[in-house]
Amino acid sequence: MSGTWHGLFVSELIIKRRQNLIVIAGLINQFHPPAKVYFLKGYTEELLSHLLRRPIRIEVQTVSNPKDVLFKWI
């Protein structure tokens, strides 16, 4: 993920497993064109689904200022 999405994530990745589905979530900068984000999302989902042999879903939210991101460690 860090190689494909180089420098776009402003937070740590969250990996969840729901039944057979793996969900990868994270926050990215808002200043990138939507076409680039859609392409990277589809490319990463297809590549990881092929490598891991199970469905992968990428959930991305945008943030205008990375300093506004708050974390709560559990």
pLDDT for 12: 85
Name residues of the chain where pLDDT drops below 70.
72
Average pLDDT, the chain: 88
Predicted TM-score (pTM) of the model is: 0.82
pLDDT for 22: 95
Which structural domains are found in the chain, ordered by start? 14-65 (3.30.429)
The closest of 48, 60, 61 to 22, measured between CA atoms, is: 48
Type of residue found at 44: T
**pLDDT tens profile 32-49:** 889 999 999 999 999 999
pLDDT for 9: 86
